[in-house]
Amino acid sequence: MSSDAIVLLREDHKQIRKLFREFEKAGDDAYATKGRVIDKVIEALTVHTYLENECMYPEVRKLVPELEDDILESYEEHHVADILVFELSLLKPEDERFTAKASVLIENVDHHIDEEEQEWFPKVREALGRKQLQEIGARMQELRAKAPRKPSQPSALKKAVHAVTA
């Protein structure tokens, strides 16, 4: 598997979107399916946003300062997703707002993924060489092993708090 950071992030995006479609295809009363899928979404997004916030974004911010505004917007989009993920982790699939909250999360993350893949990734690939993207990707793969899997874990909470206090 490639260690190119953008390739790794695109793979995450593909898996996350697959889970989104699975959730959307579940029937209105398919509570067990919706709960199982959202548990997977929560884990995937918690890991993914951790890797971007702790590795990809700081590196790109340092190496490609002209993308500062894009990165700051991405941090805020992650913060919104973090809040929704945390709230979903506290709800049961039968709860009145569960499906609505999941739908808002899906809409927001789909928008974020589109922006990253269509606008941001091409700029980053152009600005950074293949070697730099592979080095960042290798660090992301190392971080993945210790990345939080639940929004209640200390390292996940730290990034949520940082978004408000930084």
CA distances, 91 to each of 30, 39, 95 (Å): 15, 11, 6
Taking residues 39-67, report their average pLDDT.
95
E strands of the chain, at which residues?
none
Q: What is the pLDDT of residue 158?
A: 65
CA distances, 9 to each of 51, 56, 64, 99, 150 (Å): 9, 9, 18, 26, 19
Q: What is the pLDDT of residue 151?
A: 83
Place of tokens 């993914």: 48
pLDDT tens digit sequence for 14-26: 999 999 999 999 9
Query: Which pLDDT band holds residue 153 (cuts at 50, 70, 90)?
Result: confident
Return d(Cα 26, Cα 31) in angstroms, integer: 9
CA max distance for the chain: 49
Taking residues 108-134, report their average pLDDT.
96
- Calculate what percentage of the chain has a pLDDT beyond 90: 84
Return d(Cα 123, Cα 30) in angstroms, integer: 41
Instruction: Record the pTM.
Output: 0.91
Q: What is the pLDDT of residue 41?
A: 98
Q: Report which of 17, 23, 38 is spatially closest to residue 90, judged by C-alpha positions.
A: 38
pLDDT tens digit sequence for 80-120: 999 999 999 999 999 999 999 999 999 999 999 999 999 99
Which amino acid appears at position 50 of this protein? Answer: Y
